[in-house]
Amino acid sequence: MREVTRNHLTLGSGPVKVAVPLLGKNREELFAELRLLPDASADLIEWRIDCLSPFPTETEFLALAREVKRELGTLPLLITFRSSSEGGKLPLDAVNYAGLQLRLAEEKIPDLLDVELFSGLKEPASHIAALKAHGIPVIASRHFFSETPPAEVLRETLTALRDSGADIPKLAVMTKSTEDLLTLLAFSAEWRRNADRPFVLIGMGPHGVLSRISSAEFGSCLSFGALRESSAPGQLPARELKRILSLLSEYPVPDATEPRK
């Protein structure tokens, strides 16, 4: 499996990494969150820029982005604009989505960028290629906030995310029952067997919590934990998530594909 490495972080091998979202509405709230990060055990920071209110001008935003990046030091930064159609705070057309991402990539501010593949980009594969040309790895994402689709839809969606050229396909679904969770986990185990790159599969809601802590067994390279408030239903506090994942890594499940000795 190919890996994605940014600073000290490697996705695609080793323990499951914990991403912590920043959700501040303005500079003051953002820096209050940043001061809490030492206690969060974060491996990666996801800055949810759709939470900014009101959304700043491009010049103001880029200046703020540079500040956030400096404050994080070597802690890798994923910048995400989550649209309202996929559970975010603003519609995609509230900003020049593609243009803003390109400016961020040109200035090499983020370590990774999230691209919503199904939210209206005219040529998403070309856009992803342009971001990657600046040396920025891309997470291509899709969120189903109302359901867990059947396995064939999960397969079609994750295949499209992978085939877009993204470095990491990410798919999150709403799990409303134990049956939904089993559908997601069974599909994740199947996808893991032939995955050629890191991926993320998440079950949202109370029934999806198990998917967030069983990532190592079912293949996801990232799990998302809350700093103060959750950015998606079912997120555990980041510090507790890290503790659980660390505990589970001490008792690894043998790889069923390896021959017994």
Question: Could you read off the pLDDT of 107-133 as tens digits, one per residue?
Answer: 999 999 999 999 888 899 999 999 999
In a domain, 74, yes or no: yes
In a domain, 93, yes or no: yes
In a domain, 102, yes or no: yes
**Which residues are designated catalytic?**
143, 170
pTM of the model: 0.93
- Would strands 236-237 and 44-48 be described as parallel, antiparallel, or unpaired? unpaired
Q: Could you give the 3-state DSSP secondary structure of residue 75? A: coil
Domain hosting 152: range is: 4-239
In a domain, 259, yes or no: no
The rounded percent of the chain whose pLDDT value lies above 90 is 84
In a domain, 248, yes or no: no
Could you tell me the CATH number of the domain that includes residue 136?
Answer: 3.20.20.70
Residues 104/111, Cβ–Cβ less than 8 Å: no
Write the burial class of residue 9 (CB in 10 Å: 0-12 exposed, 13-18 middle, 19+ buried): middle
Task: Find the mean pLDDT for residues 140-146.
Answer: 96
pLDDT at residue 246, as a whole number? 87
In a domain, 139, yes or no: yes
Domains identified in the chain, total number: 1
In a domain, 261, yes or no: no
Band of pLDDT at residue 257, cut at 50, 70 and 90:
very low
